[in-house]
Amino acid sequence: MNTLKITKATIDDVLKLQSIGRQTFSETFADLNSEDNMKKYLEESFATAKLTAELKNPASYFYLAVSDEKVVGYLKLNIADAQTEKEDLDALEIERIYVAKEFHGKKVAQALYTQAEKIAEEIKASYMWLGVWEKNFRALSFYTKNGFVQFDTHIFRLGNDEQTDLMMKKNLT
């Protein structure tokens, strides 16, 4: 990996976002979930119309991690009413940080997280928060290392499977 750039995604990036989103979600969760549930989630969550609407939402931000002209990961942030849970208006939600498996351990996730910190500072967020599946040990370790602590749980639906996400937060003020 020679260069890594973090760039703000635009509406023109919808197909790149769709591709990296489907790839990384599959790499992360396919082994632990049924094929039917994975297929349903990938079709719905990464549908072109849904991603286009999310990219157009001024309260959501997408960033692409690009290495040598190849998209290798992405970040999705939400503020205000775009947050997936009704948190404080001055909070920043990290909805997704995903990195292609071949780039794990190469500081791509950390670079995306650093971008989230920059946005949190720019909008003067009092804290950042996220939900992470209780069985996603790699992500739990990453967020704990970056100062997040669990404050609650919520249910995440993957197809017909209800899964427990740990809600974690990091105070910034």
Q: Distances from the Cα of 129 to the Cαs of 39, 120, 148, in angstroms?
A: 27, 11, 8
**Half-sphere exposure of residue 162, counting CA atoms within 13 Å on the CB side?**
3
Q: Is 61 a residue of the active site?
A: no
Residue spans of alpha helices (H) in 30-152:
35-45, 48-56, 108-122, 137-145
* Catalytic annotation, pick one of 74, 98, 113, 143: 143
Compute the distance between CA of residue 69 and CA of residue 136 in angstroms, rounded to an integer: 29
Compute the distance between CA of residue 120 and CA of residue 122 in angstroms, rounded to an integer: 6
Q: Annotated catalytic sites, by residue?
A: 143
